[in-house]
Amino acid sequence: MKTFLIVLCVLMGVFILYKIIQNIERALCVFRFHQIPFVPSADALRRAVVQEIRTRYTNAKTVIEIGAGYGGLARQIARRTNATVYAIENMPFSFAVLKMFNFIFRTRNCIAIRADAFKYIRKMRRHIDIGIAYLGPGINDKLRPYAKKFRVLITLDAPIRGMRPARTVDLSRYGATRWNGIVWPHKLFIYEN
């Protein structure tokens, strides 16, 4: 009984610490970096992205996840396609969790990179097959100047304003994301060059 209580207290302590760090990082995202904090994408969005790559872009070799969070989507793509996935995340705690999960799940073709994704893309010399972003309305628009660096750009739930998608995939039956109180039904926006 005593051991059980000790284990329970340790687990609760770890959980509380996790929540404190997560909320500090969230506050930094919103108030300091003016970027969307980590919110995992819905399963339906992840499945749809993998399905797109497996059916339409079968020869894609490189994928960049622009703002990977804990890397759930990046690892799913790495496991289920032949591509190498570069998971870019700039926040220290999210990046540490991303690295830890990559190690635990032994996802060798998912490479975690700590960087500001926009600076990384700007400096990138080679072309990338697929870029994926779930950054929210407005922030996705910052990808517009770099669109030509990708063969395909896929944004989740919010479009890149001023660009016409080649295709959209309606996933509204699976729910929506709420950004600043506005509801964005689940949808993929697919831009091709």
Q: How far apart are alpha carbons 94 and 178 in whole angstroms? A: 21
Binding mask 39-68 for ligand SAM (x = CB under 6 A): xxx-----------------------x-xx
Least Å distance, CB 185 to ligand SAM, is 16
CB 146 within 8 A of CB 127: no
Q: Does 118 bind ligand SAM (CB under 6 A)?
A: yes
Closer to ligand SAM at the Cβ: 101 or 129?
101
Answer for which of 64, 117, 154, 160 binds ligand SAM (CB under 6 A) is: 117
Q: Does 189 bind ligand SAM (CB under 6 A)?
A: no
Nearest residue relative to ligand SAM (C-beta): 67
Answer for which of 28, 47, 54, 72 binds ligand SAM (CB under 6 A) is: 72
Least Å distance, CB 74 to ligand SAM, is 7
State residue 40 phi and psi, 5-degree precision. Answer: -70, 140
Residue with tokens 């669109």: 147
Q: Does 21 bind ligand SAM (CB under 6 A)?
A: no
Question: Which residues, including other chains, have CB under 8 Å from residue 66's CB and lie 6 or more apart?
Answer: 88, 117, 121, 131, 132, 133, 135, 143
- CB atoms < 10 A from the CB of 181, how many? 5
3-state secondary structure of 84: strand
Closer to ligand SAM at the Cβ: 37 or 175?
37
Q: Does 88 bind ligand SAM (CB under 6 A)?
A: yes
Closer to ligand SAM at the Cβ: 10 or 100?
100
Token output for 174: 């699976």
Q: How far apart are alpha carbons 181 and 185 in whole angstroms? A: 13
Q: Does 97 bind ligand SAM (CB under 6 A)?
A: no
